[in-house]
Structure 1
């Protein structure tokens, strides 16, 4: 029926957020407007966009029911190496590494605007 076109992250300042995610996802920034920035779309993957919202408030992590509405999972080959990279880029660590027998390892971070995301192997 349909395809996911975009993942849009709300923020107060799109430039640092777009720069962060461009480095994490290895995609160039292809659109820069006052209130809308986008990364390059690759193949069938959704594009990632950043929309200015006045008085943006990051979702809490961990939050109560209904407070955290979504997060991104970023698949990586080496969790320790990826952790070092995202922290250098401005991410904030929100949790310790979790190991799951069937699902590999994962760890929760917040991007520079406070959006939660996981690095997963």
Structure 2
């Protein structure tokens, strides 16, 4: 089979667009469970190493690395830390064990993203 130059270029483009910070992270079982929920509940506002609406995972991991339960507390009763962005909504309706899984994912993925840089 002969490859079309356009197809080859498209495949190279797709490969280049993958997020290496997410791809290279070997997650613990708890963080792996949290990754899917993070994608659904959090990814619209938080990226691995760049600010969207909320801070990047690398910044959150730096703040809470030794206190993953702090992420859970913040998710249940968030405050407002930055005047230039909307406040985070409460995730009070999400089970605490699920929030703990998300927190572990944030710490592991954020730590990896911080090592790789922006």
**Higher helix content, 1 or 2:** 2
Given the two structures, how large is their TM-score scaled by the length of structure 2? 0.29
Larger Rg: 2
**Higher strand content, 1 or 2:** 1
Given the two structures, how large is their TM-score scaled by the length of structure 1? 0.28
